[in-house]
Amino acid sequence: MCGRFVITEAADEMARLFEAIPANDLPQVPNHNVCPTNQILVVLGGEGRRLTSMRWGFIPHWYKSPGDGPLLINARAETIAEKPAFRSAARERRCIVPATGFYEWTKDADNKRLPWYIRPSGGGPIAFAAIWQEWRHGDDLMNTCAIVTTSANAAMAKIHHRMPVCLSPEDWPLWLGEAGKGAAMLMRPAPESYLDFWRVDPRVNSNRASGCDLIEPISA
């Protein structure tokens, strides 16, 4: 799964990378502890790509309030096409969530949560596959999204059995619906060599923690 992530690249850098027009109300970066329900950067495809802001936490159209059901921050690749909450978005509303890295947790012998930071081995940003939904109830209107996850590759499985779907640049047009059909084949684990990971301070266990030191390695 992906329950927390990091974004350090500036919005204008992400706009250039994805060749997208940036909106005016983008969330502040860097953010070394992006949490569910935060506003996050999202790339939308089409004739002119857009870099916009959405709530991380997909809200199905039948929810009467954002808290009317489970918090849907991830969508499983294996079932995304069948789940009532996700199937329409998987066909029609795919997007990309830019990130620098993400966190995952293991547990020690005392059942304490041990955080790990995971990032591309060559550095640079990650493009998470995601889906989005416009939620409206009365006068309330909100664009929301979920990150797509798949089974972990062998390297990542040492930490967790799930991982985000990470898209390479050549995959972006297909995922965004700009290059025809076949996006389902992109929902696969990244190559084992794609990611590096290391232990970080348990301070990140708190969603209130902040600062660039959150991703600094510590002794395991």
Q: pLDDT of 159-213, one tens digit each?
A: 999 999 999 999 999 999 999 899 999 999 999 999 999 999 999 999 999 999 9
Question: Which domains does the chain possess?
Answer: 5-215 (3.90.1680.10)
Q: How confident is the model at residue 50 (pLDDT cuts 50, 70, 90)?
A: very high
Give pLDDT, residue 53: 98
Q: Is the dihedral of CA 100, 48, 143, 171 positive or negative?
A: negative
Q: How many CA atoms lie within 13 A of 44 on its CB side?
A: 21
Percentage with pLDDT > 90 across the chain: 91
pLDDT score recorded for residue 220: 66
55 neighbors 143 (Cβ within 8 angstroms) = yes
* Active-site residue set: 2, 104
Longest Cα–Cα distance in the chain: 53
Distance CA 153, CA 141 (A): 38
- What pLDDT score was predicted for residue 139? 87
* Structure tokens given for 165: 């779907």
**Average pLDDT of the chain to the nearest whole number:** 95
Please tell me whether residue 39 adopts helix, strand or coil conformation. strand
DSSP for residue 58: B
Split at pLDDT 50, 70, 90, the class of 4 is very high
For residue 204, what are its two tokens? 């990140």
| Distance of alpha carbon 202 from alpha carbon 126, whole angstroms | 23
Q: For 131-151, what is the mean pLDDT?
A: 95
